[in-house]
Amino acid sequence: MESQRDLYKYIHDQTIRLANLGLTPDEIAEKLKLPEKLDKVWANRGYYGTLKHNVKAVYNFYLGYFNGNPSDLDTLPQEESGAKYIEYMGGEKKVIKRAKLDYKKGEYRWVAQVLKHVVTWLTPKIQKQKIYWLMLMNN
């Protein structure tokens, strides 16, 4: 129980300390590491979430979701932004080709971040195809 208490106190206090220094939720989540004493306790492992998730939750509780970048206050819906990202990057085939290369280099987080735009761009097209096929099957 003490290690759990110490874990949450550490996450809370360090998140607020770094936020007061002007770091964003993402920056804090990347920077913050548990001290060895807390990290080695089996019960403190990320079971229902990770340290990164918990840092962002503490930040959000006190300061809200705003990350300090005004362009994030009124973003386009994912479907629209996904289409524009794919267009800016030269089309889905180029994005997928590059993502495969980055995946081989072990850049998994980046590949997931980039490919989410391909998925959101394709989703409406796939949905339209599903509806079309369902209509054909029901006739």
How many other β-carbons are positioned within 10 Å of the β-carbon of residue 98?
Answer: 14
The enclosing H or E element of 26 equals helix 25-31
Q: How many other C-beta atoms are found inside a 10 Å radius of the C-beta of residue 11? A: 18
Backbone angles phi, psi at 9, to 5 degrees: -65, -45
> Percent of the chain beyond pLDDT 70?
88
26 vs 86: CA distance, rounded Å: 24
Cα separation of 120 and 76, whole Å? 12
Q: What is the pTM of this model?
A: 0.74
- The secondary structure of 12-43 as a DSSP string is HHHHHHHHHTT--HHHHHHH----HHHHT-GG
88-115: per-residue pLDDT in tens? 999 988 998 999 999 999 999 999 999 8
Q: Return the closest-CA partner of residue 45 out of 31, 30, 29, 34.
A: 34
pLDDT, one tens digit per residue, over 3-38 is: 889 999 999 999 999 999 999 999 999 999 999 999
How far apart CA 38 and CA 54 sit, in angstroms, is: 15
